[in-house]
């Protein structure tokens, strides 16, 4: 492919991406996008926090984080939330694990205007 602007390696990588199908490519892009969003949010929260040596602020900002997953994922998420809360005394993240129908829960909270501050979201492939 003379003049295509892509090296042989890049053409091969691109061809292999399409062999996996558009749904796999969409899922990969979504995971990458979600990781970037979470990184940006946590970076922003970190910038707002004070020194870790200060006593806990009773007027700390409280954020509600809703997520789903297995019990193992729940335990891992609880550890991450505890670690974040310990290192950011001016921010308190409260995790809420939804073991059942997450979509119904989010839709119900949306109808009641009580959505969490941070939540897992996914694109449903059809």
pLDDT computed for residue 80 by the predictor:
92
Contact predicate 48/93, CB 8 Å: no
Q: How far apart are CA 88 and CA 47, in angstroms?
A: 10
- 29-49 pLDDT, tens per residue? 777 777 777 777 776 665 555
In this prediction, residue 54 has a pLDDT band, given cuts at 50, 70 and 90, of very low
* Token representation of residue 35: 């990781």
* Token representation of residue 26: 């969409």
| Extended strands (E) in the chain | 61-67, 91-97, 118-119
The pTM (predicted TM-score) of the whole model is 0.52
Q: List strands edge to edge, sheet with 91-97.
A: 91-97, 61-67, 118-119
Contact predicate 122/30, CB 8 Å: yes
- 61-102 pLDDT, tens per residue? 999 999 988 888 899 999 999 999 999 888 899 999 998 888
In this prediction, residue 120 has a pLDDT band, given cuts at 50, 70 and 90, of confident
């Amino acid at each position: 492919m003379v003049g295509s602007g892509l090296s042989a390696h890049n053409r091969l990588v691109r061809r292999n991406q399409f062999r996996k199908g558009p749904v796999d490519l969409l899922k990969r892009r979504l995971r990458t996008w979600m990781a970037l969003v979470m990184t940006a949010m946590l970076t922003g929260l970190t910038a707002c926090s004070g020194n870790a040596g200060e006593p806990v602020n009773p007027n700390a900002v409280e954020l509600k984080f809703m997520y789903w997953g297995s019990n193992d994922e729940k335990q891992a998420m609880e550890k991450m939330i505890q670690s974040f809360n310990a290192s950011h005394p001016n921010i308190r993240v409260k995790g809420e694990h939804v073991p059942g129908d997450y979509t119904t829960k989010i839709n119900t909270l949306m109808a009641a205007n009580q959505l969490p501050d941070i939540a897992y979201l996914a694109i449903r492939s059809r």
